[in-house]
Amino acid sequence: MGLLTPTAALSKVTEITPQMLKEMGIDAILLDVDNTLAPPIEQTPYEGVQEWIDTIKKSGFAVVICSNNFHKRILPFSSSVGLDCVAMSFKPFPFGFNRAKKKLHEKPKAVVVVGDQIYTDVLGANLAGMQSILLEPRSEEKGFTIWLRRKMEIKIRKRLYGQKKQNRG
Q: Which residues in this chain contact Mg ion in the complex, by CB under 5 A?
A: 32, 34-35, 116
CB of 33 to Mg ion, least distance (A): 7
CB of 110 to Mg ion, least distance (A): 22
Task: Specify the residue, 116 or 153, whose C-beta has the smaller distance to Mg ion.
Answer: 116
CB of 84 to Mg ion, least distance (A): 18
Contacts for 37 with CB less than 8 Å, ≥ 6 apart: 13, 31, 45, 46, 49, 53, 65, 77, 81
Task: Specify the residue, 34 or 153, whose C-beta has the smaller distance to Mg ion.
Answer: 34
Task: Specify the residue, 84 or 141, whose C-beta has the smaller distance to Mg ion.
Answer: 141
CA torsion 22-123-55-78 (nearest 10°) is: 150
Task: Specify the residue, 49 or 107, whose C-beta has the smaller distance to Mg ion.
Answer: 49
Cβ proximity of 135 and 10 under 8 Å: yes
Task: Specify the residue, 33 or 111, whose C-beta has the smaller distance to Mg ion.
Answer: 33
CB of 9 to Mg ion, least distance (A): 15
Q: HSE of 39 in the Cβ direction (CA atoms, 13 Å)? A: 7
What are the strands of the beta sheet with 62-66, ordered from one edge?
8-9, 131-134, 111-115, 28-31, 62-66, 84-86
CB of 17 to Mg ion, least distance (A): 21
What residues pair up with 132 in beta bridges, in sequence order? 113
Contacts for 69 with CB less than 8 Å, ≥ 6 apart: 33, 34, 40, 87, 88
